[in-house]
Amino acid sequence: MRTIPQTLSLTFSIVCHKTDIKALHRNFHQIVATGICRSDDHVVSGALVMPFPIILGHEAAGVVESVGQGVTSVKPGDKVIPLFVPQCGECKSCLSTKGNLCSKTDLGSRAGLMPDGTTRFTCKGKAVYHFLGTSTFTEYTVVPESAVAKINPAAPLEKVCLIGCGFSTGYGAALQTAKVEPGSTCAIFGLGGVGLSVVMGCKVAGASRIIAVDINKDKFAKAKQLGATDCINPKDFNKPIHEVLMEMTDGGVDYSFEVIGRTDTMTAALACCHSNYGVSVIVGVPPAAQNITFDPMLLFTGRSWKGSVFGGWKSKDAVPKLVADYMKKTFVLDPLITHTLPWTKINEGFDLLRTGKSIRSVLTF
Ligand code: PAD
Ligand code: ZN
Ligand code: ZN
């Protein structure tokens, strides 16, 4: 079992394990970074149910400190990004060309444990759970080999950590899940780090109209900077937002994305799609214990409803390529990073997210 260091030192590494052997704790000092995503906060609020106590954090970049027996794809010293959706390469989803949600993903009834059913963290002798197989709000973490991708050693870890979740999730929702086409009309509900990455994906795909929707108008300037053609605030209208969008787009959008995590906006996003061919993608994490009641006529008349986890990317294959694309300046990450804080200011980072003042806060160790 692994013990959480009781005092924080300014180091962070990733220990990879294929088999259940004890990790050696060595001081391999590397500066690394982890972003704060709304999904971390969903666990704190209870919207995403996980076992406690737990080490949150899943959007990070780090350096391999040591590897367990049989690990071949990374070695100590490699720069890596942990993968909250792993790619085991063996399960039905991994073997299918269609999806990316590996059956080893740390969700569901066995959430909080390594694939072998153990937890590698303890605190004062008690078990502490893993989060999404990654747990990055810590100096050292342990991940299965299928949940870590080796990246270009020249990549700036305090930027590319966003490829571990927010950026890839939004960008892939547009490019991989929706497969937005040139000339199409898109609506994005929610302009956090993930929603703004959807905006970027729609723009790269050649969408001609990108309508950004948020109740916080402070998010509009950045949405426009990243490609939004229109920005609307549901609070400015005295009719439902899906009706506003349908009027704006002569009957509805080609693609809509819910990037908030609310059932009412999930339904509104479906309803604002054009009949016959409109596609709505749920990216926001559905709140626990809530169901949706909706008019099935919306689907009967040809709209499709999809979901997207980690942007549909097969993670271990895609993440090194996304990092390479970032290094080639195919896309930017800087506009998403509004705050870079020392790890000790993690609570400030959460406050900035909750008060709508940040896009992404990156914590550095
Ligand atoms: P965020 O909190 O930074 O952004 C959410 C945005 O939604 C904010 O700008 C809010 O102002 C806005 N908003 C809130 N309520 C409304 C409303 N009623 N109408 C319009 N806008 C509203 O979050 P984020 O960008 O980090 O994450 C967004 C969601 O995506 C969240 O649910 C998160 O858990 C989920 C997520 N999913 C995946 C995945 O793989 N599917 C990955 C990462 C995050
Ligand atoms: Zn996330
Ligand atoms: Zn798999």
For the beta carbon of residue 88, count every other beta carbon within 10 angstroms: 18
**Domain spans of the chain, in order of start:** 13-164+333-364, 167-309
The confidence score (pLDDT) of residue 317 equals: 98
Q: What does the block give as tokens for 232?
A: 């609307």
* 342: helix, strand or coil: strand
Catalytic: which of 13, 16, 17, 39? 39
- Say whether pLDDT at 22 is over 60: no
- Say whether pLDDT at 6 is over 70: no
Q: Give the position of tokens 């609570």.
A: 347
Catalytic: which of 16, 94, 102, 165? 165
Q: Determine if ligand 1 sits within 6 Å of the CB of residue 356.
A: yes
- Say whether pLDDT at 11 is over 80: no
Looking at 6-20, 90-104, 124-138, 149-163, which range is the least confident one? 6-20
For the beta carbon of residue 262, count every other beta carbon within 10 angstroms: 17
Cα(168) to ligand 3 centroid in Å equals 19
pLDDT digits (tens, 9 = 90+) for 185-203: 999 999 999 999 999 999 9
**Which atom belonging to ligand 1 lies closest to the Cα atom of 190?**
7
106-117: average pLDDT: 87
Q: Which residue has the higher pLDDT, 78 or 13?
A: 78
Looking at 11-20, 108-117, 184-193, which range is the least confident one? 11-20
Classify domain 167-309 by CATH architecture.
3-Layer(aba) Sandwich (3.40)
| 37 is annotated as an active-site residue | yes
Sign of CA dihedral 146, 148, 150, 151: positive
Beta bridge mates, 231:
212
Contact 350, 341 (CB under 8 A): no
Side chain identity at residue 344, one-letter code: T
The confidence score (pLDDT) of residue 14 equals: 52
Q: Determine if ligand 1 sits within 6 Å of the CB of residue 261.
A: yes
Contact 194, 259 (CB under 8 A): yes
Q: Which residue's C-alpha comes closest to atom 4 of ligand 1?
A: 192
- Say whether pLDDT at 17 is over 80: no
Cα(234) to ligand 1 centroid in Å equals 15
Contact 221, 201 (CB under 8 A): no
Q: Which residue's C-alpha comes closest to atom 44 of ligand 1?
A: 39
Give the global pTM. 0.94
- Say whether pLDDT at 320 is over 60: yes
CATH of domain 13-164+333-364: 3.90.180.10
- Say whether pLDDT at 251 is over 60: yes
End-to-end CA distance of the chain: 23
pLDDT digits (tens, 9 = 90+) for 280-293: 999 999 999 999 99
13-164+333-364 and 167-309, same CATH topology: no
Q: Determine if ligand 1 sits within 6 Å of the CB of residue 168.
A: no
Q: What does the block give as tokens for 300?
A: 């009967």
Cα 224 to Cα 80: distance, rounded to the nearest angstrom: 32
